[in-house]
Chains A and B, each alone.
Chain A
Amino acid sequence: MKITIQDLTKTFPARHKGDKEVTAVNMMNIDIPSGKLVGLLGPSGCGKSTTLFMLSGLESPTSGHILFDEEDVTELAPEKRGIGLVFQNYALYPHMTVEQNIMFPLVNMRIPKPEAKERALDAARLVQIEELLNRKPSELSGGQQQRVAIARALVKMPNVLLLDEPLSNLDARLRLQTREEIKRIQRETGITTVFVTHDQEEAMSICDIMVVMKLGIVQQIGEPQAIYDDPENLFVANFLGTPPINIFKGQIKNGGVFIGDEEIMKTKHEDQEVYVGIRPEGFIYSPSGVLSLDVDHIEVMGRDKSVVSISKYSTKPTVRSIIDADVKLEDAPVLKFNLKKNKVFLFNAETEERIR
């Protein structure tokens, strides 16, 4: 099912007198093609969960429209939208067994019991928990609870599957495993899936389409790799990537991009103050390089190594450059680097928009 979000806005009234009302989502427009896995990504308070809840119908938008295929569902109650929702804390009914939990939506839809049981078993098989059907949620691990929650969301064969921070309550190892699992289930079922996360790595690794949000406003939409390679603005560049991008204060003058006194590259743009973003993997060690950095220490990771250095032009305390483990480094306090052009981004210092 295709999802169209038009001018979606949600404002919450002020909590206390004198406070301003809060705009959680501001004029959002997205088209989600059918059968895709979409990640809403952003720091907390960016409106991603509110968006998800508006898609589910639990929150009603202040203005704007939500269309499933061609049908306007903006005013439709949650249970009539044909959605499945997986909550951050799973929200399993603690007094029901796993099977009863999964069957619950079907029971409310007045589906005959034998059929409901059958479908619950199918859903349980899909998430591989068929041997846990008679347990209570309290007897399950976090990962198992997560699967039950997904099964409960899938059992009614929703047109849209919504997941709110699906991995945040899992430990690191389970997170990796579950994220593959979600991808697999999504592929197998072909259900249009929207999930919310604040973890860019998580989003990058499984999304077909990623929506980066900040303060209720969509910053960029696209395939993860495309966004990573071509960020629209400083925020997006900064938010994606581990280790994060290095950002320097710099200038464009006389057709050159300068960090301090060093000209790192040529440019056609006008003279202006800029931020220069350089991905950690964009450094090439070279004794005749264009950028010199004061080395603080070197971290050896096996496959590659990080040169952690200090620059007074960096907006962050340290600059991190990742280079191949084979590269022999000089034992010197200052190292020089050449830069990979496609890993360097320029942003206007005031608007923080990309200079292309």
Chain B
Amino acid sequence: MDIHRYEKIWIGVSLVFIVGLMASIVYGVVAVGATTVGDSGETVAANDLSNTTFGDPGGHWASDDHYVVNVVAQQFQFRPGTREPVVVPANTTVTFRLTSPDVVHGFEVVGTSVNAMVIPGQVTVATTRFDRPTTYGVVCNEYCGAGHQNMEGQIVVVPRETLRNASANGTAASLAPPAGDAPDGGVA
């Protein structure tokens, strides 16, 4: 085929560039551990979550260094998250397990890359780690019906020992006052 020399060079550069892009992604996955949601293999019956781990959603300690939060994303709130914030410990492996009893929702922790889809019948498992105590906003970023624009919540990251003690005393609920003011920032 008749290709100009410059274009041949460009094909080579392009391929190197593309491989470089892929290498960046691999670096991110391997060195930083940043990846995305996978297949948890779990399915649930969306129309009756009452006998599943989502029957009483909330957080609990799975082990010393692992805190698991079951969240139900439904029209038009996160349970927990909307009425009272989700409380998670800092400097701990935190796993969010999400499902929906109705339609597809999104779970986006604003300002971070913790961003996943919640599909009825499926269980989304997203693991992360919060470095320091702070408050994050959570929005549903997938259209889910007439009240989609109201679907929001908060995640409050507290010092690890604080939550551990509260869980032991059974006072974990008091760490999460009902929906507070938005953290400092702008109104979009």
| Chain A bound to chain B | no
A residues neighboring B (CB under 8 Å): none
